[in-house]
């Protein structure tokens, strides 16, 4: 059950973007599972992909195509990840791109493929090929909500974020959708995220803005510590909004765009965690007082990935010794255990590396029973800090993943 996940908002259309979704029967019948996003000519694009070296065939093809040309279409399927499928999987991804390109009247290099689902099984390319005409027939500027549902796998709800920005005479939208629920410890982005704006943004600025937004959002979440073979986050800028042209990394329009992009990415990233497989708690882990941001992140992720810590949160058990143990094994060069302080929400449980004199078990249990918990660790070593969002680890996480292919 998702933790305080808001319903899908009304997603503002982005001038120059149309989306079409269909149920192609790729893995399950009567389920939306194929999405095509059409981009107007002149659209600029930036993307970040998984750092998993066993990356999927569509990741390899999308990288190569993006290096050749700006995209005219993105083709996304669920059900099968097309990862670990060797040369046949690569050929399948190219065949799907070729079919979409032929229908749209563009070059194959202008189509970027994306897949999510079961790893190691070849997907039924013929079902995707058969579904492409239906996607094209459904293309609409208002197709964002259907597309958000069409990219889901184990997600319990569709995820989207949107902003309309007005700066002087400029008015533009930033709208995005994402999917992800398990196999989440992004090493670049979430499993799949697609964001678009009708502002005109120069390619170099677009890429820098995306990387900065991803670093503060998708690269700060984890559900289970697993990085997918298929992670991808794409940002499209159509340039169709009058007066919203960004050619330099400064000025009010640029600043408003960067702010809106960060807000949408934050919203999508947090939605992925709130919908984490089997999650009953949404945890914000703040590590402050570090010697470096990298050290703070190492401590935060060590806590977030500890099964003992995560199961304690699931049980609402303030077993804070597990948190201390996780901090102690974090791979940082320097740690003064006598300087460490820990808070659960507003409750101080550890001060100077030991139980706070005023702390009581009842206070800890009350804090742990909340659906949303902030764990704050002060290392007492410096002025750096970092934040990570994660979940607890429940019985349902095990059940969902044990039954994933059934």
* Catalytically annotated residues: 190
Cβ pair 237, 200 in contact under 8 A: yes
Place of tokens 């918990």: 373
Burial class (CB in 10 A: 0-12, 13-18, 19+), 135: buried
Cβ pair 167, 256 in contact under 8 A: yes
| Size of the chain in residues | 406
Q: How many C-beta atoms surround the C-beta of residue 382 within 10 A? A: 14
Residue 143's nearest CA partner among 76, 95, 192 is 76
d(CA 158, CA 147): 9
d(CA 201, CA 239): 7
Residue 38's nearest CA partner among 71, 3, 83 is 71
| Residues facing residue 373 across a β-bridge | 283
What's the sign of the alpha-carbon dihedral 177, 241, 210, 79? positive
């Amino acid at each position: 059950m998702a933790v305080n996940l808001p319903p899908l908002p009304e997603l503002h259309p982005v001038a120059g973007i149309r989306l079409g979704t269909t149920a192609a029967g790729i893995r399950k019948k009567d389920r939306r599972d194929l999405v095509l996003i059409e981009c107007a000519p002149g659209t600029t694009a930036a993307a970040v992909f998984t750092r998993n070296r066993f990356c999927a065939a569509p990741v390899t093809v999308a990288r190569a195509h993006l290096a050749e040309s700006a995209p005219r279409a993105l083709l996304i399927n669920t059900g099968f990840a097309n990862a670990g499928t060797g040369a046949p999987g690569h050929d399948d991804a190219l065949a799907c791109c070729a079919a979409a390109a032929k229908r749209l009247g563009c070059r194959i290099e202008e189509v970027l493929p994306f897949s999510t689902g079961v790893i190691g099984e070849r997907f039924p390319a013929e079902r995707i090929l058969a579904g492409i005409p239906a996607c094209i027939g459904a293309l609409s500027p208002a197709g964002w909500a259907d597309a958000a549902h069409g990219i889901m796998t184990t997600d319990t709800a569709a995820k989207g974020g949107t902003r309309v920005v007005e700066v002087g005479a400029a008015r533009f939208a930033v709208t995005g959708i994402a999917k992800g629920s398990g196999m989440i410890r992004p090493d670049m982005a979430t499993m799949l995220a697609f964001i678009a704006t009708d502002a005109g943004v120069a390619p170099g600025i677009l890429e820098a803005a995306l990387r900065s937004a991803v670093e503060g959002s998708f690269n700060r979440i984890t559900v289970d510590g697993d990085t997918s073979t298929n992670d991808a986050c794409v940002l499209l800028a159509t340039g169709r909004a009058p007066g919203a042209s960004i050619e330099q990394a400064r000025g009010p329009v640029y600043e408003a765009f960067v702010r809106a992009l960060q807000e949408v990415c934050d919203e999508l990233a947090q939605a992925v965690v709130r919908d984490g497989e089997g999650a009953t708690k949404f945890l914000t882990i703040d590590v402050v007082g570090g010697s470096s941001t990298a050290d703070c992140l190492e401590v935060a992720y060590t806590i977030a990935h500890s099964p003992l810590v995560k199961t304690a949160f699931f049980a609402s058990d303030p077993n804070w010794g597990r948190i201390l143990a996780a901090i102690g094994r974090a791979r940082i060069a320097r740690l003064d255990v006598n300087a460490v302080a820990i808070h659960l929400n507003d409750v101080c449980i550890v001060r100077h590396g030991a139980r706070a004199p005023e702390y009581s078990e009842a206070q800890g249990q009350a804090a742990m029973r909340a659906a949303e918990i902030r764990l704050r660790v002060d290392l007492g070593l410096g002025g750096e800090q970092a934040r990570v969002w994660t979940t607890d680890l429940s019985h349902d996480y095990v059940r969902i993943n044990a039954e994933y292919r059934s």
